[in-house]
Structure 1
């Protein structure tokens, strides 16, 4: 699962990034609110961790702009401010949770897990499911029933992204950003090629048709 960490304190940013990567999250980082907003607008992240006191565009204004654009990715505010009024301001701006510094590693990870499970078919063990198809992101393992599904890392990431957004049309651009990042030299044919690879792996389980093509737009994972 992919996390965007927006934090201007280089020391804390490095520590949180290491914590998340050790817990098997894919992490992108931004040092300013403006850079964070640019990355977040791609709508490819599963959760944002945002410091309120950012230079320039602060965390509250950043989240307000995302919500105005109808981007409703879960947001966890990290801040040194811990009183009730500050928490209310952050939550009213559109954040989903609030964690005051300093914080315990396990509390950070527990709050992230809770946010990721909201409104998604994600198990308490953070597995991602669609019927008999189960993905375990921490181990990069997939199975349909008791039969393992052998996927490359990129194929796994693509299938995970589709399942996390079941019923939602994902453009080729969003898929490309998700799998290869904003600056990667990829094109629409690369996305189409990996869709083909994943469909081929799903075909023995009669699941390949769950990935529907939306002409001239992208793809969607159909629940039936």
Structure 2
């Protein structure tokens, strides 16, 4: 896995590069936002680790311009800006995941590998991956079936389940789910997503599908 680490703190650059290389990753360093964008365009890596506070160009602007240029590389934001508002801004700008400093190195590795797996293109002949527990999702109507019966779900429960079904076998970050379930609802408390998770979990109890919480990674659907 080739990782572009965009971070201006030299001591953190050194520590993260050593750690990730010891775990089998190839790490390229860049400490300036504008230079990082040019390097990203010239040789897209597998994953970008992006700090937000950078000289030359702010990290969010780097991300915005990269997405505008069609660069689809998964991005993990690393930053001391840990508020919910900052996380939502980062995800809305095009980030795929968010890890506030300080962080655990094992969790960092897990998140990077998860992003790398998501990036791997599916075979054109393989079709869509099977959904857990035999669930069937009609993307045109939005209906989700279990054993040929439509699940009776509230709109937010349906939005949450669809977001999880779109990533079968992968954890979806809580921040991303909040953005999809409560789009543009600035007055909603961040913890409200947990209420929707609880309600959906109860409705899935008899389907043979479990909604699992993965600490630090998000939520995942799996067959019982």
Whether the 8 Å contact between 2:50 and 2:78 is mirrored in structure 1 is: yes
Q: Please list, as runs of the form range in 1=range in 2, the aligned pairs for 1:69-88 lying within 5 A after superposition.
A: 69-88=69-88
Match of 2:112 in 1: 112
Whether the 8 Å contact between 1:48 and 1:73 is mirrored in structure 2 is: yes
- Give the C-alpha shift of residue 34 in structure 1: 1.1
Whether the 8 Å contact between 1:5 and 1:13 is mirrored in structure 2 is: yes
Q: Please list, as runs of the form range in 1=range in 2, the aligned pairs for 1:88-167 lying within 5 A after superposition.
A: 88-120=88-120
What is the rounded CA distance, in whole Å, between the counterparts of 1:55 and 1:43 in structure 2? 21
Q: Please list, as runs of the form range in 1=range in 2, the aligned pairs for 1:194-209 lying within 5 A after superposition.
A: none
Match of 1:59 in 2: 59
Are positions 1:10 and 2:10 aligned together? yes
Match of 1:174 in 2: none
The ranges of structure 1 where at least 4 consecutive aligned residues each deviate by more than 2 angstroms after the TM superposition are none
Whether the 8 Å contact between 1:43 and 1:71 is mirrored in structure 2 is: no
SS of 1:54 mapped into structure 2: coil
What is the rounded CA distance, in whole Å, between the counterparts of 2:58 and 2:17 in structure 1? 20
What is the rounded CA distance, in whole Å, between the counterparts of 2:119 and 2:72 in structure 1? 12
- Give the C-alpha shift of residue 121 in structure 1: 5.9
- Give the C-alpha shift of residue 81 in structure 1: 1.1
- Give the C-alpha shift of residue 44 in structure 1: 2.8
Whether the 8 Å contact between 1:81 and 1:100 is mirrored in structure 2 is: yes
Whether the 8 Å contact between 1:43 and 1:73 is mirrored in structure 2 is: no
Q: Residue by residue, what CA displacement relative to the aligned partner does 1:50-97 show, whole Å, maximum 9, x if unpaired?
A: 101111201100011110111100000000011100000111111100
Are positions 1:31 and 2:31 aligned together? yes
Change (3 A) 1:18 1:90: same
Structure 2 unaligned regions, length at least 5: 127-224
